[in-house]
């Protein structure tokens, strides 16, 4: 089944096309990586898909249902590239995750207990069970990422959207993070849309890749779609040989 379908999507800022006629589809339960140089419109594309910025013309459909803006009943999880928040905000990890647990308000102690169990279970799943009572502002980059993944999973989303979530984290942290995403994908059938600059990550973890530079350049399985010509046209001559090392490594 197609979880997400994007048809001829355009995003404009005045007369400038930030995203131009991009079309692709994502199979339920797959991981699709979006790659492209800086300024290619990757973040703009996923913000349009999430309904965070206006777009048009073009359509975005979730599970065959066209949506104008944010889907109401289809839950999405989102981990932004950079989480801009006040680090002195005295907010615990538990409180941060509880914001997303419905209902808005309940006096029922049973509901509160279920909420606590759900949050603790999610944190355990992402390897952050020990962070429950920590303040969000005191977390390291890697810890914050795992917490944000748990937060994105709170409402059992159908699709998880990750915008370069591993940027600014050391190599070991990145590795652990991508393994976690793949494990979640395999264990729960979660559909994942992932922006990455790292071709290694694309080859190792993505079922499909979408390469763009404002327009769609190619889409398909990484080993088929990412030809030397495509990589050179997107990233320049320097990256031409890199693709072979990624293949070999994989």
Partner 1 sequence: MTTISEFLTYPFIQRALFASLMVGILCPFVGNFVLLRRMSFFSDAISHSAFAGLAAGALLGVDLSISSMVVAIMIALMIAFMSEKSGLSHDTVIGVAFSGAIATGMLILGMLKGYRAEVFNYLFGDILAVSKTDLVLLMAVSVLTIALIIVFLKPLLQLTFNRDLARVDGINVRLFEYMLFVIIAIVVTVSLKIVGLILVTSMLIVPAASARNMAKSMKGLLALSCLFGMISGITGMLGSLYLNTSSGPTIVLCSIGIFFITLFAGPRMNN
As measured in angstroms, the least distance from the Cβ of 78 to partner 1 is: 4
Question: Is the Cβ of residue 51 or residue 173 nearer to partner 1 in the bound state?
Answer: 51
Rule CB under 8 A: is residue 92 a binding residue for partner 1?
Answer: yes
Rule CB under 8 A: is residue 8 a binding residue for partner 1?
Answer: no
As measured in angstroms, the least distance from the Cβ of 5 to partner 1 is: 19
Q: Measured between alpha carbons, how far is 205 from 134 in angstroms, rounded to an integer?
A: 31
As measured in angstroms, the least distance from the Cβ of 172 to partner 1 is: 27
CA angle 59, 60, 63 (to 5 degrees): 130
Q: Measured between alpha carbons, how far is 167 from 120 in angstroms, rounded to an integer?
A: 26
Q: Of 58-66, 90-98, 121-129, 189-197, which segment contacts partner 1 by CB under 8 A?
A: 90-98
Q: Measured between alpha carbons, how far is 206 from 78 in angstroms, rounded to an integer?
A: 18
Q: Measured between alpha carbons, how far is 16 from 2 in angstroms, rounded to an integer?
A: 30
Q: Of 1-9, 45-53, 174-182, 204-212, which segment contacts partner 1 by CB under 8 A?
A: 45-53
Rule CB under 8 A: is residue 86 a binding residue for partner 1?
Answer: yes
Question: Is the Cβ of residue 101 or residue 122 nearer to partner 1 in the bound state?
Answer: 101
How many residues contact partner 1, by CB under 8 A?
A: 31
Rule CB under 8 A: is residue 130 a binding residue for partner 1?
Answer: no
57 cis-preceded (ω within 30 degrees of 0):
yes
Rule CB under 8 A: is residue 114 a binding residue for partner 1?
Answer: no
Task: Please select the residue that binds partner 1; options are 91, 111, 132, 225, rule is CB under 8 A.
Answer: 91
Task: Please select the residue that binds partner 1; options are 1, 15, 72, 237, rule is CB under 8 A.
Answer: 72
Q: Measured between alpha carbons, how far is 99 from 211 in angstroms, rounded to an integer?
A: 35
Using N-to-C axis directions, what is the helix angle for 242-249 and 228-235, rounded to 10°? 130
Task: Please select the residue that binds partner 1; options are 77, 142, 165, 222, rule is CB under 8 A.
Answer: 77
Rule CB under 8 A: is residue 98 a binding residue for partner 1?
Answer: yes
Rounded to the nearest angstrom, the gap between the alpha carbon of residue 124 and the centroid of all alpha carbons in its chain is 20
The DSSP annotation for 85-120 comes to --TT---BHHHHHHTTSSSS----HHHHHHHHHHHH
Rule CB under 8 A: is residue 113 a binding residue for partner 1?
Answer: no
Helix (H) or strand (E) holding 162: strand 159-163
Task: Please select the residue that binds partner 1; options are 99, 141, 183, 229, rule is CB under 8 A.
Answer: 99
Please identify which residue in the block is written with the tokens 């079922």: 207
Contacts with partner 1, residue ranges (CB under 8 A)? 47, 50-52, 70, 72, 75-78, 80, 83-86, 88-92, 95-96, 98-101, 104-105, 135, 151, 155
């Amino acid at each position: 089944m197609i979880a997400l379908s994007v048809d001829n999507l355009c995003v404009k800022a005045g007369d400038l096309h930030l995203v131009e006629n991009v079309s692709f589809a994502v199979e339920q339960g797959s991981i699709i990586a979006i790659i492209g140089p800086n300024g290619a419109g990757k973040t703009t594309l996923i913000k349009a898909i999430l309904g965070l910025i206006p777009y048009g013309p073009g359509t975005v459909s979730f599970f065959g249902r066209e949506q104008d803006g944010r889907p109401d009943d289809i839950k999405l999880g989102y981990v932004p590239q950079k989480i801009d928040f006040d680090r002195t905000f005295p907010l615990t990890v538990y409180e941060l995750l509880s914001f997303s647990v419905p209902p808005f308000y309940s006096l029922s102690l049973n509901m509160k207990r279920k909420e606590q169990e759900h949050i603790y279970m999610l944190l355990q799943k992402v390897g952050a069970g020990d962070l429950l009572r920590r303040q969000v502002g005191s977390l390291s980059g890697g810890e914050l990422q795992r917490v944000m993944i748990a937060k994105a999973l709170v409402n059992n989303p159908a699709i998880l959207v990750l915008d370069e979530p591993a940027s600014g984290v050391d190599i070991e942290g990145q590795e652990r993070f991508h393994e976690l995403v793949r494990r979640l994908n395999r264990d729960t059938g979660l559909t994942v849309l992932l922006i990455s600059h790292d071709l290694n990550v694309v080859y190792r973890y993505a079922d499909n890749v979408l390469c763009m530079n404002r327009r769609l350049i190619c889409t398909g399985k990484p080993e088929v779609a990412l030809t030397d010509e495509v990589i050179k046209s997107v990233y320049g001559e320097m990256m031409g040989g890199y693709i072979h090392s990624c293949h070999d490594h994989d």
